[in-house]
Amino acid sequence: DAMVIQNPRYQVTQFGKPVTLSCSQTLNHNVMYWYQQKSSQAPKLLFHYYDKDFNNEADTPDNFQSRRPNTSFCFLDIRSPGLGDAAMYLCATSRGAPGRVGFSYEQYFGPGTRLTVT
């Protein structure tokens, strides 16, 4: 029944060692998002895809990259994790609302991947 799946649920990586987090969805939603959330903070949007169109946030470090090979899958690559990148990484999906300015459909989140950097 899981609609947004993230793997792995827990990831431990060494400082500077590349890591890839994955997200898949069975909702057939157009839009997929990656958020970073640290303790007691709001989820912070890193980037999102509307279909194949990639939208990066201005303050997302170059260290973070993403790929969306098809509708169902999206990956987050952290090229050289630093200690400050330890966080929960959340994938979310939503339907697109083309042409509806100011309107967004609800987003559905996966269970997250908790990243530890040693």
The binding site for other proteins (CB under 8 A) comprises 31, 33, 40-43, 45, 48, 50, 55, 88, 90, 94, 96-97, 101-112, 114
Please tell me the total number of residues recorded for the chain in this structure.
Answer: 118
Q: How far is the CB of 76 from other proteins (least distance, A)?
A: 15
Question: Based on the number of CB atoms within 10 Å of its own CB, is 14 exposed (0-12), middle (13-18) or buried (19 or more)?
Answer: exposed
Q: How far apart (Å, rounded) are the C-alpha atoms in residues 80 and 77? A: 9
Task: Closer to other proteins by CB, 53 or 77: give it.
Answer: 53
CB-wise, 15 or 54, nearer to other proteins? 54
CB of 94 to other proteins, least distance (A): 6
3-state secondary structure of 85: helix
Q: How far is the CB of 40 from other proteins (least distance, A)?
A: 7
